Structure 1
Amino acid sequence: MDIRKLTAEDFESSIALSQYAFQYVLSEERKERQRYRFASQDIWGVYEEGELGAKLHIIPFQTYIHGRAFEMGGIAGVATWPEYRRKGWVAGLLKHALEEMNRNKQSISFLHPFSFAFYRKYGWETYIEYKKYKVPVAHLPAKKATPGNIRRGDPGLDILKEVYSSYAERYNGTLVRDDSWWENSVLTDGTSQKAVYLDEAGQAQGYLLYEVKERKFAIDEIIYLNEEARQAIWTFIANHDSMIEEVTLQAPASDTLAFQLDNPRIQQEIVPYFMARIVSVEQFISQYPFASQDSPVQINLQVEDAYAPWNEGVWQLNVAMNGTASIWKTSETVLEEQTLKVNIQALTAMLMGYRRPAEMAQMGRIHGPAEVITALEHTIPERETYLLDFF
C-alpha cells in the first residue's frame, strides 16, 4: 500500500475527492479558505499508479480533560473513490494515522463517524452524546429580571474566548479553541447574531450565537457560567416571542431545561455524536489527573489494542494520594485475579468520563476482581463529556 503525505500540489485532487464523497460543492471563496486550512493539517493518502485513491486528515487540536489541555489528533475527511473501495485502504490509513499521532505525542484522538460500528473495529468509542431541543414559543422559560444586562452585537473575540474557556474547562472533550479556529470554524459566515450577558459588575457571564429566520430562533451556541446568566439569556430569547414560533438548540446530555419549564412536554432527542480513542496509554495516563486518594492505589491493567500494538500488554498503574499517576508496562507474571482486563475502547470511555467502571463491568465490557473495579471507580473523577464543535 503506497501511503504518502499530501502536499500543496495535491490540494485539487484532495478537494475533488472530498466533494464527491461528501456530496457538496465549494464556492471559490470557501475553496480558498480550505486551501489555507489545508496547510495546517497532516493529510495522508493512498495512491495507485500515481492517482489519489483514499485519504484522511489529522487536525492538530487540544482538548480539555478534567481542566487540563491534552494534545489531540482530530481525524476528518476520511474518503475513498468508489472504484477503490473494499481494498482495506481506510484500515491502512487509520493504522498509519495512529502511528503518526503517537509519534507526535497526540495521546487522544476524536472523530465524527459515518458508522459507529465501523470505527469501533479500529479502537474508537463513543464519548459524547448531546441533547437536542425544539421548544415552541409558548413553552419558553418565564421571563425574569436580572441585575446585569444583555448586550447585542459583536462583543469582540476576547470576550467570547474568555467565557467559552471558563465553560469548556468544566467538561471533558471540549476543544481548546485558538483564534484561527474561532475565525474559520465558529464565526465563519457572519450570519449568526451575537449577544453577551454582562453582570452588575460588567463582567461577561454568558453569550449566545444565534439566527432568527422564518420565525425560528436557531441557537448555534448558548453558554452561561451561572444561573443568573442562564435566566438573562433565556429572557432575551423569550423577548422574541412576537417574532418566532420555536427555538432550536443543543445542550449537554444532562441539561435540565425541560424540568425548569412550566410545561416540560417539549421535543427532546439524545444524539450520539463524536468518538474518542486513546492513542497512547502511557502518554495519556501519565498526564491524566486522577482523583485524590486516602492512600496510594495500584491497579494492573491488561490492555487489548489490535491496531496500536504499543498499547498491548499488562500495565501497572500507580496513583499517588494527590492523584498523580505513573504507569509502565510490566514483564513480570501478574496474577489474573489481580488484573483488570480491558480493551482500548472501554478504557477510553471510562477515562473520558462517558461511562463509569462499575457500569462497564455490569455490561461485561471490562473483567476483573470486584475490588480492582472498585479501586478504578474511586480513582476516576466524575465529569460530563461535551463538544460544541464539529470537524
Structure 2
Amino acid sequence: METRTLEPADLDAVHDLWTRAFGPSDRDDAWALRAMGEGRFLGVRDGRRLIAVGHHHPFEQWWHGRAVPMGGVGGVCVAPEDRGRGVGRRLAGGLLDLMDGRPLSALYPATAPVYRSVGYEHAGAQYRLTLPPAPLRALASGPVEVRRAGPADTGEVIALLRRLHAEARHHGPIVPGEDQVRDFLQNERVYSYLAADGFLAYGWDGGREDIAVHRCVAGSAATARALWAVVGSGSSIARTVRANVAPDDPMLWLLRDRSEDDVRRVGWMLRVLDAPAAIAARGFPAAVSADVPLLVEDELRPANAGSWTLTVREGRGRLERAAERRDATRLPARGLAALYAGVPMATLRGAGIVTGDAEADQLLDAAFAGKPFMLDYF
C-alpha cells in the first residue's frame, strides 16, 4: 500500500469512494479541486486502485477566546471491500503528518476506535436545538439595524466572528477560511444577515416546514433579539426551527418560557499535533496561576512526548521541557487532547485515561475548564 497526496486526476475515483461510503449526493468539484491544489487531500492506494481517502480544512478554532490553527479532518472513507485491513488507521496517521504546522486537529468520527488509536479523544459537540419559531418572533424589541450579507462582506463577517468569539471567551467554535466563508455567503439556499455586532445565517431545511439556523452569534442582547426575531418571522409557514447553538447560548435565557430543551448532540474529537504550540496559542483564565509537571506519551508525534512543566500565568500558558518528576500527571496523546478540551480530571481518571499524581487536578480543571462546542459540521 502507498499513501500520498491526491491530484485533480484522482477526483472521479474519490467521488466513487464517497458514494460507496456515504451514499449519493450532489457533486461539487470546486472545493475539492481547491483542496487538492493546496495539498490537503490524502489517499491510500493498493497498486493502481484508490482504496481510502481523506482531507483536512484550514480552520481557526477558538479556545478561551484565542484562535488556534486547526486542521478539520473530513471525507474519510475506506473502500467497503478493503475494510478491516488497517487501512483506516494508516490513512488517519498519514493525515496527522499532512497537517504538520497546525497545533490541533478535530473531526466528527464515524468510528471512534480508529481515531483514538492515533491520539484523538472526545472533546466537545455540535448542539442542535429544535424549537417552535413563534417564541423567537416574540423576541423582537427596539431598533437594531440588520442588513443582508453577501460575498462582498466576507472580510467583515470573518472579522466579526473572530471578535465575538474572543469577547465571549468561547471554547471550540471554528472560523473557516476566506474561500469557505465566501462560498457560504454566495449560497442561494442560505440567507445571511449582518448587524454591527452580530451575524445570522439560516435557510429552509428540506422543504417549507422547517428552518435550519447554521449560525447566530451576537455581542449584545438587543442584537441577539433582532437576529433571532428574523428567524422567527417565518412562524406563519415554518413548523420548527433547528438551530446550531452554544450549550449556554444567550438565546436560551432570552426566551420568555423555557422548560424542556430538545437538543441533538453530535460529538467531535480533538488531537494535539504540536503540544507546546497548542498551549502557547490557547487562552486561559486570567485568575489561574499554575506550575504542573506532566509526562506525555505520544508514539506518533514524538516531539510531544516526554516530561514537561505546564505554566499558566495571566491568561497565557507554555510548556517547557523539564526533568521527570514523581508527582507528574501522566497522560497519553488522547488524554492530552481531552485535558486541552476541558474534560474534568475526575472523568479522565475514572476512565483510566490519566494516571499519576492527583495533587494538581484542581489546578488543571481550573486552567482548562470550558464547554467546547462547534456550530459547523464538516
Q: TM-score, normalized by length of structure 1?
A: 0.83
Identify the residue that residue 150 of structure 1 maps to in structure 2.
146
Between stretches 239-248 and 74-83, larger displacement belongs to: 239-248
Q: How does 1:185-334 map to 2 (within 5 A)?
A: 186-187=184-185, 189-197=187-195, 204-212=196-204, 213-255=207-249, 257-258=251-252, 260-265=254-259, 267-292=261-286, 297-320=290-313, 323-328=316-321, 330=322, 332-334=323-325
Aligned length: 373
- Which region of structure 1 is more displaced relative to structure 2, 118-127 or 144-153? 144-153
CA contact (8 A) 1:144 1:235 kept: yes
Equivalent runs, 1:1-391 vs 2, <5 Å: 1-27=1-27, 30-101=28-99, 104-140=100-136, 142-152=138-148, 154=150, 156-169=153-166, 170-184=169-183, 186-187=184-185, 189-197=187-195, 204-212=196-204, 213-255=207-249, 257-258=251-252, 260-265=254-259, 267-292=261-286, 297-320=290-313, 323-328=316-321, 330=322, 332-335=323-326, 338-353=327-342, 355-361=343-349, 364-378=352-366, 380-391=367-378
Deviations 1:308-332 (A, max 9, x none): 344333323334566342421x4x4
CA distance in 2, matches of 1:209, 1:294: 36
Could you tell me how far 1:276 is from its partner in structure 2?
Answer: 0.8
Question: Alpha-carbon deviations, 1:35-90, whole Å to 9, x = none?
Answer: 23332242222222222121221333332223333222222221111222211112
Give the residue type in structure 1 aligned to 2:328: T
Q: Structure 1's 320 and 264: CA in aligned 2 closer, same or farther, altered over 3 A?
A: closer
Are the counterparts in 2 of residues 253 and 270 from structure 1 also a CA contact under 8 Å? no
1:227 Cα shift?
Answer: 0.7
**Aligned partners of 1:163 and 1:225 also within 8 Å:** no
Larger radius of gyration: 1
SS of 2:197's equivalent in the other structure is strand
Stretches of structure 1 that go unaligned for 5 or more consecutive residues are 198-203
Question: Distance between the aligned counterparts of 1:264 and 1:322, measured in 2?
Answer: 35
The more displaced of 147-156 and 364-373 is 147-156
Give the aligned partner of residue 201 of structure 1. Answer: none
Deviates more, 1:121-130 or 1:58-67: 58-67
Distance 1:286 1:139 in 2: 43
Partner AA of 2:325 in structure 1: V
TM-superposed deviation, 1:141:
6.2
Distance change >3 Å, CA 142–CA 32, structure 1 → 2: closer
Cα offset, 1:113, TM superposition: 0.8
In structure 2, the CA distance between the partners of 1:114 and 1:205, relative to structure 1 (3 Å rule), is same
Which SS does the other structure have where 2:262 is aligned?
strand
Judged with a 3 Å threshold, the aligned counterparts in structure 2 of structure 1 residues 226 and 5 are, in CA distance, closer, same or farther, namely same
Q: Which runs of 4+ in 1 moved over 6 A?
A: none
Over the aligned positions, Cα root-mean-square deviation in angstroms equals 2.9
